[in-house]
Structure 1
């Protein structure tokens, strides 16, 4: 495909240490020669009075006073100033005026064309003049309205509108595919993937296990990700920790990420539960090397029903046995993940993996090698280049 200019409207700030689809896709597009103008999150969730949210708003104000910055070849990042409380029409109207004026100004200054608008934001039609772009791509990676603090009523209305207007819709979970394809037949299912080269460093003999992890007794049963009340089942983890005091449960991630109302007290008083806090993306293979088993202890709710866990292929790329709750998106991968049907079954799955009775290492790695950002982006751009027509008879990606 001839390189085009892409304006990518994200729902995650570029500088957030917990990278998601948005940052990875932006990098892949830039590496393919496209010029990418990455717009930081416009703040869908209503802010809380927590120090976390207040700090983020202060940081955002500082960034908003600066010009877009070039973070790597072909990739610029812009942090526009926006008013909070997007649930109110007047706020959205003012934000659209602010964003549109400044966006046009910076695109003109940087000589970036409006070839393609690639958006993750279901409020796009209320925040940006989407009609000025040659193509509109909606990449739906979550059931955003199911997250805490979201303006549900307006999101339901605008997301359906966005899906119907989009030239192409990409989704990351089977449930999202089922619902969005009813609104737009040019909807394609591409699950979340991983950077295999990065996470497979966990298998390298030269990769060192960090001192704060190696000093914790084995077996180490670990989870990496956002430790948020609507995502992680704290009751399940407490049950595991109390049932097997000889196991060490390691949780790496920010408590309350995306959900400042999270209460983690169920875990903080258990001697074999270790909340290590967030770690940089660069360090994650080192920590995964020190895990004996990797967990997906998610809540089962509207949000996770439509979620494909980003950590799944990262765990596999690191060579780890994976134990998960019954997430619908993982049903097609039962050959490389133990899907537990109850808390007791969850413990059983961990025990089987510790005893070496789970899936084979090479089988896990072979699957992980197929599901990478590079291969997925190549297939997605083939569809974009083909004006939304799939080159096969299927609307789902299966390498």
Structure 2
């Protein structure tokens, strides 16, 4: 029944996407950089099947630091900017805008408004876009998009972005309220976000994340190999894939779990924003780097449990982890810290644990059930 339900969800999305042959011009203002395998990446690649998409990479939420991650991101952005607008797949074009990131720079906002307007206008002319359908994933785009003659504007809310660390929370809250009223419609991936937005815009809809079912269901196929880098590690193998960041992942919980079960392999896969030494004292916590999205089923196949060890903050309270339906489609039992959307959407598929001791216990129960099947 579980697999059939997921299949129906995937089918319904596919059928809806083919209902119209009309090609749209779509402006996609992302909260991520191109290439990060988040819901924005997934949605933009599918929208490109419906029309011409201009994916505009994030302009950032906060001033950069001297960290290796921030410096690396600045360098990548500069390289991508020099390359100009590029077609990454049929009908999908990426623009990496250049802006002044420093918060205290005089006239920053006015200069950014001018250069962003110019870059977006030039890209639209190159692609012969007129009156596009706009998808906006972050409220900090608002000052820079009002000049665009649009068909409709969709505010796609996947996180409470004012809760991210290091940004001007009050400014983001003000932008969020204005963006909610400016948009023609709002899609919210978490029920709590929907409850917050529906009073600001009558065209607000609750739309949880879907899943690339075919990709993750391939875990079940005999032709899908288990990831060799994981097979080298002792079982049981407890897997997390996603953004490894203090905004999301409870590093202290993971360390305590690793100490409670030193013979287990705790495996982290994804973009890492933590210090390289964060888990250095725990030999059984293994970081296997960022992987291609299409290779994740191989890591699921080598895993015994999929976990969502999120910190308990307003940010995670209002999130809907995309990895949850991905784990489920891959056939992995799931253990998560208390996240409302996890309990609401998949109450039978995810065990909830608030402490390291409970987390380990729920993993043990999941392993026992798997061994009995």
Q: TM-score normalised to the size of structure 1?
A: 0.84
- Following TM superposition, where does structure 1 have runs of at least 4 consecutive aligned residues deviating by more than 6 angstroms? none
* 1:355 equivalenced with 2:364 (yes/no): no
Q: Is the 8 A contact 2:227 2:301 kept in 1?
A: no
User: Is the deviation greater in 290-299 or in 194-203?
Assistant: 194-203
Q: Which residue of 1 aligns with 2:23?
A: 3
Give me the whole-angstrom Cα distance separating, in 1, the residues matched to 2:174 and 2:103.
14
Paired residue total: 352
**Is the contact between residue 4 and residue 35 of structure 1 (CA under 8 Å) also seen in structure 2?**
yes
Matches within 5 A, 1:1-399: 1=20, 2-16=22-36, 19-31=37-49, 33-85=50-102, 90-130=107-147, 132-256=149-273, 262-263=274-275, 265=277, 267-332=279-344, 333-356=346-369
Task: Quote how far apart the aligned CAs of 1:151 are.
Answer: 2.2
Deviation at 1:357, TM superposition (A): 6.4
CA distance in 2, matches of 1:334, 1:241: 26
**CA offsets 1:243-289 (integer angstroms, 9 cap, x no match):** 12221111112321xxxxx3465522112221222222122111110
Taking the aligned partners of 1:196 and 1:224, their CA distance within structure 2 comes to 17
Moved more, 183-192 or 294-303: 183-192
Cα deviation code 1:273-324 (max 9, x no counterpart): 2122222212211111000011111101011011111110110111100001
CA distance in 1, matches of 2:132, 2:235: 53
Residues 127 and 88 of structure 1: CA distance in aligned 2, closer, same or farther (over 3 Å): farther
CA RMSD of aligned residues (A): 2.0
Q: Is the 1:40–1:79 contact (alpha carbons within 8 Å) kept by the matching residues of 2?
A: yes
SS at match of 2:259: helix
Q: Give the deviation of 1:86 after TM superposition.
A: 5.4
Per-residue deviation at 1:131?
A: 5.1
Deviations 1:349-380 (A, max 9, x none): 1111101169x99xxxxxxxxxxxxxxxxxxx
After the TM superposition, which of the residue ranges 82-91 and 166-175 deviates more from structure 2?
82-91
Q: List alignment gaps of at least 5 residues for structure 2.
A: 1-19
Cα distance, 1:58–1:263 mapped onto 2, change above 3 Å: closer
Unaligned runs of 5+ in 1: 257-261, 362-399
